A = this chain, B = another copy of it.
């Protein structure tokens, strides 16, 4: 949080909250079902993620940022209509109330930035039918970065619990400093880059191809160095 507050320029934070949601669901007797890392979101689970992502996690981040002088503005995709989606069609798996993003309202977001506000975005979108929809945070970060790339020079930073993409998953110090599509393909072929990283990196390359200036994967504590190109894994075309 302290590092985030020191980032210069306009900034937006996109957060998750899956672990807290799973704990809260359990306390409420709502069972958690995951398929390939994605949460099945029936109506009781939608209630849980709305409370946890949109309320508990989002508003506590906002209040913590306010306390260190960052004028944070907590949002879900429904607020200001910033992330409109459609409920994912049922093919082999019914994910329930999960959103596939259809549109980002970058004008509204730009208006918030012009007011010197720092949007803090929960992983929820909404449908024209008036439903909230559970939506992957990495995907939200990527589509927002792309939507704003027409108006700003955008850096997209994926923070997680490792220092970057690892060339040896057993060795936390084996951070790959730069990753190109060719290298990515080869790491995927050898299985070095594993299932969990693939959607994140696919999003990362998509964002670069769609006009985002810089994409980095790093540990949250190194975000200040990572946006300068000095830490984490820099994604390159």
Q: Which residues of A contact B (CB under 8 A)?
A: 24, 27-29, 47, 50-56, 58-60, 62-64, 66-68, 71-76, 78-81, 108, 111, 115, 117, 124, 126-132
Question: What would be 12 A-B contacts, judged by CB atoms less than 8 Å apart?
Answer: A27-B29, A28-B28, A50-B55, A54-B55, A62-B76, A62-B79, A66-B126, A71-B108, A72-B79, A74-B76, A74-B78, A80-B115
**Copies of this chain in the oligomer:** 2
> With A72-B79, A74-B79, A108-B117 given, is the CB distance from A55 to B51 under 8 Å?
yes
> Could you tell me the distance between the alpha carbons of A27 and B51 in the complex, rounded to whole angstroms?
14
Q: Which residues of the other chain, B, contact A55 by a CB distance below 8 angstroms?
A: 50-56, 58-59
Establish whether residues B58 and A54, one from each chain, have CB atoms under 8 Å apart when the complex forms. Answer: yes
Contacts of A56 in B (CB 8 A): 47, 50-51, 54-55
Decide if B63 touches A54 in the complex (CB within 8 Å).
Answer: no
How many Å lie between the Cα of A209 and that of B55 in the bound state?
Answer: 35
A67's nearest neighbour on chain B, judged by CB, is B130
Please give, as numbers and ranges, the residues of chain B lying within 8 Å of A117 by CB-CB distance: 80, 108
The complex places the Cα of A93 from the Cα of B81 at a distance, in Å, of 42
Contact B51 A76 (CB under 8 A): no
A236 → chain B closest CB, angstroms: 36
Contact B64 A130 (CB under 8 A): yes
Given A50-B56, A55-B55: A67 touches B129 (CB 8 Å cut-off): yes
- Chain B residues whose CB sits within 8 angstroms of the CB of A73 once the complex forms: 75, 79-80
Could you say which residues of chain B place their CB within 8 Å of the CB of A29? 27
